[in-house]
Amino acid sequence: MEEMQPKIGKYALNFGLLLGLVSVVFNVMLFSVDMHYEQTPAIQIIGISILFALVFIGITQFRKANGGYLKLGEALKLGTGIAVVGAVIGLIYYFLLTNVIEPGFMDKASEFAKVKAFENNPKLTQEQWDQGMEMQKKFAWIAYPFILIFQALIGLIAGLVAGLIFKKDKPAY
């Protein structure tokens, strides 16, 4: 009798939903302490670490359910799937944050960015800043697909790393 192989889609969906939930909780924590405007390297590293951790956990659970076996291709699919599902949840939260929870979010975030930009580049003029902001407003919609693609790539990389670590092929006999 042949064993039922676990479904990659099921694991990607479950761990992707968990990734989205953990990411939203992290972002709500940032919101509650008024740090959601800042995108410091520490905050970005924590976000990517959460993604890597949940991809690794999802892949190890899949391997366990698959009798201890894992192909590299399965790990790549799982990593990408988990990241994409998590990104969709994150984008829904971001949309709600910027349009419902705090409609002035983009203006406040721009003010934070403006202060940092002028600190980092004293030669920057107000006119140059205004031109950049107008251009950014025209192309603000592109952030959503870019975030989705970026998360998918990070998930692919996490899946590759986990796949190389946990890969174990079934014996040929």
The proportion of the chain whose per-residue pLDDT surpasses 70, expressed as a percent, equals: 98
Lowest model confidence (mean pLDDT) among 84-88, 127-131, 142-146, 152-156: 127-131
Residue 75 has pLDDT above 60, yes or no: yes
Kindly state whether residue 112 falls inside one of the protein's structural domains: no
Kindly state whether residue 79 falls inside one of the protein's structural domains: yes
Three-state SS across the chain?
A: CCCCCCCHHHHHHHHHHHHHHHHHHHHHHHHHCCCCCCCCHHHHHHHHHHHHHHHHHHHHHHHHHCCCCECHHHHHHHHHHHHHHHHHHHHHHHHHHHHHHCCCHHHHHHHHHHHHHHHHCCCCCHHHHHHHHHHHHHCHHHHHHHHHHHHHHHHHHHHHHHHHHHCECCCCC
Kindly state whether residue 37 falls inside one of the protein's structural domains: yes
Kindly state whether residue 119 falls inside one of the protein's structural domains: no
For the chain, how many structural domains are there in total? 1
Q: Model's pTM, two decimal places?
A: 0.86
Tell me the residue range of the domain where 81 lies.
Answer: 8-104+142-166
Q: Which residues contact 156 (CB under 8 A, 6 or more apart)?
A: 76, 79, 80, 83
Kindly state whether residue 75 falls inside one of the protein's structural domains: yes
Beta bridge partner(s), residue 70: 168
pLDDT of 1 reads: 42
| More confident site: 125 or 44 | 44
Kindly state whether residue 98 falls inside one of the protein's structural domains: yes
